[in-house]
Structure 1
Amino acid sequence: MNRTRREMVFLGLTAALLPTAVLADRERDSDRARHAVERGEALALADILTRVRSDLGGEIVGVEFERKRERWVYEFKVIDPGGRLWEVYVDAATADIVRREGH
């Protein structure tokens, strides 16, 4: 197999597996969140949304759950009314908004 054909096969396999990798990462986020909630280290997403939805500043288009600076945070991707994308970080234990980053 020549180099170009190998590259095409590699790119095809990568494209085919990418959705699986994204799904696996989302599953890990939900597993991490569930375990953190069970241990009392975080509030459930539904509770967080009840507390902060009106303060997020727009429509939620994505959510991640991750460890940042020794605490669990929900990272919300939000589109504001002007169409700008924001990442809003919310402390998972307290529901406090800890940071906003515009893109």
Structure 2
Amino acid sequence: MSNVVRHLITPLGRFQKSACRSVASLALALLLVSSAVGDQPWESLHGEVNRGEVVSLDTILDWLEAHYIGEVLEVEVERERGFVEYEIKLLGPQGQIVEFEFDGQSGELMSIEGARINDMRR
């Protein structure tokens, strides 16, 4: 079974570290709220990040900020078959939407989908 936490936000303006921190905080708040009715998957994820088994969302957002231009539209944390994946959608400068998928354990970029991706590279 897949545990998915999704957080939608309005565009944040320029892709900035402080805005990304807000996204991370809001995503965590959503995890806390969603756990009130479930089996509290956020506790497990929080523990894995603290033990260094899973890369923090801050680390992923720092990498995106260093390599791509865009506004965060959506952050999704998904666990399938015991593995954590981060999926982040950015709105590019030409209105393109690009989705980045990261391995939660290694922090490696696994895939990028979207149009005019090269126009978003720093």
Distance 1:69 1:37 in 2: 17
RMSD over aligned CA atoms reads 3.0
- Aligned-pair identity in percent equals 29
1:85 maps to 2:97: yes
Asked which structure has the greater CA Rg, the reply is 1
Aligned ranges for residues 16-55 of structure 1 at < 5 Å? Answer: 26-27=30-31, 28=34, 31=42, 33-55=45-67
Amino acid aligned to 1:92: G
Contact 1:65 1:74 (8 Å CA) reproduced = yes
In the alignment, which of 65, 76, 82 is matched to residue 64 of structure 1? Answer: 76
| Unaligned ranges ≥5, structure 2 | 1-26, 36-40, 116-122
- Conserved? CA contact 1:90–1:96, under 8 Å: yes
- The higher relative CO (CA closer than 8 Å, separation ≥ 6) is in 2
**In structure 2, the residue corresponding to 1:54 is in which secondary structure?**
helix
Q: 1:59 to 1:70 in 2, by over 3 A?
A: same
Q: Distance in 2 between matches of 1:101 and 1:69?
A: 23
Task: Write the letter of the residue equivalent to 1:62.
Answer: E
Tell me: CA distance 1:57–1:35, structure 2 relative to 1, closer, same or farther (3 Å): same
TM-score, length-normalised on structure 2? Answer: 0.51
Q: Normalising by the residue count of structure 1, what TM-score does the alignment of the two structures yield?
A: 0.58
1:36 positional shift: 2.9
Task: State the 1:35 CA deviation.
Answer: 3.5
